[in-house]
Every structure is written in structure tokens, then in C-alpha cells.
Amino acid sequence: MTKTMAQLPYHYGVKVRVFPSTEQKRLIKRNSDASRFIYNEMNGMNNDLFWLKKVKTPITLVLKRIADLTERLKKPSTAISNIHGWLNHPDFDSLMKANAIKNYKTAWKLFRQVHQAGTPNFHKRGYSQTYQTSCLYSAKVTAPTMKNGSVRLTDNHHLQLPKLGRLRFKGLPLKILERANDIRIGTTTVSMDAAGHYFVSMQIGSEHPFVAKQHAIESKVGIDLNLDNFLTDSNGQVIDNPRYYRTIKGKLAKAKRKLSRRARRAKKSQRRLSESKNYQKQRLLVAKLQLKVANQRKNFLHHVSTTLVKNHDLVVAEELRGKNMLRNHALAMSISDVGWRTLLSMLAYKADSYGRNFLTINPRNTTQTCSCCGHVMTGKNKLTLADREWTCPSCGTFHVRDHNAAKNILAKGLVAL
């Protein structure tokens, strides 16, 4: 019996850019809109049920409505399709419907586990599009691969998707193409970003690792993340902060002002923004500028995280509370631009893939503590953000603030390990 995706020991995610035809673009939009509609219908039914149960007076009409909603939520796919007959149109992928319902249930599950993101909200219509489908394999298929499912590679440059048909793609790593007969495909996401670029993201699984485990090199490092120079490690190496958003901030602000003027002009002449060609041209320009910054930052963080994980057996970083830090309005823009949380998530999954250790520690007093004698600066002697260099009053050791913090972070990590 073949294993399911969940039973496979190794999982990986790949994202490729695709180039759909006009008809395929229409189908992607229809499925995206339908997916959002189903999600919102589920949310609407649950909201109605919640508030109706708050009614203390046993009104017959209310009790009947509660019973009706409870019955519908047992089999939501059938119930929603029966009420909204247009969802039975052949343009729609049946697995898209199942995934929309599954995503809504997952959102509730995450809320119950984490209690930070809040309850599921209604999804608003925007300029981006996305929906999920799944790769199914026939009962006759004894060895599921990337070439024999409902989502499959037809060759090294084309893939087949349900309802959409054949799509040209680029960007799939060569190591995945070479192992296509050893890998199976799971959940697949079709998306379009605000700049009009189309992508297909695939969850893939295998019995064998996707990344070779690295040999032990007996090297450990602590990293201190800061706004002055992005990252300083316990060995004294410093990585400069590229500040991608700041370099393009002026140009982006000018483009947004122009976009705002075109929006006002369109509304003044009573034209919808979707029909205003000048507005849409400027919107695409703004979206591409924002996308450029995001791609630059992501590329930089990938290089930094991969280098750290490949060159060290243990990487220790400080736990960051991004939401709390963003409350400081003087630093909010710089903190958002630097991408610390993304770096830490990259380090976590890459360390797991390469067989390395990565952990985060409580950063309490890592800046204020002398890494030589353990003296803690308190009271009037407490260091401020302006103090980049200091001398320990206890042992007289001269410290560079960030290098000292990185040493303390590594020491705490070794104790925790």
C-alpha cells in the first residue's frame, strides 16, 4: 500500500512561475473568486450560528434556523453547492471547494491552538488571486510520482493542472527534475500577485531527503540582530543592513501620490477604478516597486541564513517579539524593513533540513551583561541605544556592544542545549 503525503518522512515546497493563456487566466480568476466565496460562506454560517445561540428566548424561527445551519455545517460542500447552483459549473475544480472548506477549518484550529491571529475573518476581494487544489492518483498507480497524478509534469518545461490543462513553467530546481520519479505531489496552490505574475506552489514529499545532511564541523555561533548593522555574530563578523525599502522609499512615495491623484480623477468623472486604464497602469508600477523590494530582501535573507546554517553546527539567536517592537513608532519602519522574523523562520527550517541545530533564547540582559565576568549594567550605568561601545566597570574589559551581546547569546544557548 502506497504512503500518503503525511506518512512520507521528507517534505519540501517548490514555487514555479507559470505563463497561462487568456482562457487559463479567466479560469484561475473564477476559481479564485469561488474559493473566496466558499470561505466567506462558511464564515457567515458560523457567525450566524454563534449569534443565534445567544438568543435566550426559544423562538421557533430561531430554533429552526439553528437546526438548519447545524445540518449544513455537517456537509458544507454539498449544502453550499445546492444553495448556490453556479458553483456546479464545469469551470470549477471540485478540489478547490474541498480545500477552501479545509482552510477555513484549519484557521479555527490554529486559533484554538495559538490564540494570537484571532478568529477567521471574511476575505476581501483584491488584485491578487489564489486557490488550492490537490494532486490525486488513480487506484491503478502503484508508485505515485510527479509524472502520473492529476497535477503532473509533462516534461521539464510544462505541467498539467486540473481544469487549467497544460502550463509552461520555469524555476523548478534541477535536483527536483532529476528525481521526478522518486517524488509525489500533494497540495498545489495557484496564485497571481498584485503585479500580474502567475505562480504554482507545490508541496512535494519523498522517502529520501531533498537536502544532503552536512558534516559536523565543530563550529558554534551566536547572532545578535540589530538595526545598526543587521547582524553581528559571536566571532566578531558583521553583516551590513542593506535597507532596501529606504533606498526606494522616495520613488515609491512619488508613485503612490500619482496613483492617488489618478484615483481621485477617476472618481470625480464617475469611473470605476477597474475601468480606469491610467489608474491601473500606475497601480501596476507601484506593485512592481513593492515586489522588487520584497524580492531583494528575500534573496538577501536566503543567502545569510544558508551561509549560517552550512558553516555552523549550532546557531543561537534571540527570541523576538515583532508585534511589541513595532509599537515603537521611531523604529517601526526600520524593523519592518529588516525582516528579522523571516530570517529566524528560514534558519529554523534550513537547520532541520541540513541536520544542524538552531535555537532561540530569551534576550534578557544579553546587551547589559559583560561576557567576560558576568557583571550586569544596572541603574544609572545601564546602557542606552546610543552606547555602541563600553568598558566593564568590574573587570575593565572593552566591549563592542553587539559583539558582546552575540557572545552572551551563544553562552545562553549552550547552557539551554
Catalytic entry in 93, 313, 337, 402: 402
Whose cell is 507601484? That residue is 286
Q: Give 342's contacts (C-beta < 8 A, 6+ positions apart).
A: 297, 298, 301
Burial of 95 (0-12, 13-18, 19+ CB in 10 A): buried
402 is catalytic: yes
318 is catalytic: yes
182 is catalytic: no
Contact 225, 318 (CB under 8 A): yes
Catalytic entry in 41, 313, 318, 337: 318
Task: Give the pairing of strands 357-361 and 314-318.
Answer: parallel
Question: Of 224, 223, 222, 230, which Cα lies nearest the Cα of 338?
Answer: 230
In whole angstroms, give the CA distance from residue 396 to residue 383: 16
Question: Of 158, 152, 154, 151, which Cα lies nearest the Cα of 135?
Answer: 151
Q: How far is CA 114 from CA 42, 47, 119, 307, in A?
A: 21, 20, 11, 31
Catalytic entry in 41, 93, 224, 313: 224
Contact 18, 105 (CB under 8 A): no
In whole angstroms, give the CA distance from residue 244 to residue 342: 15
Q: Which residues are catalytic?
A: 224, 318, 402
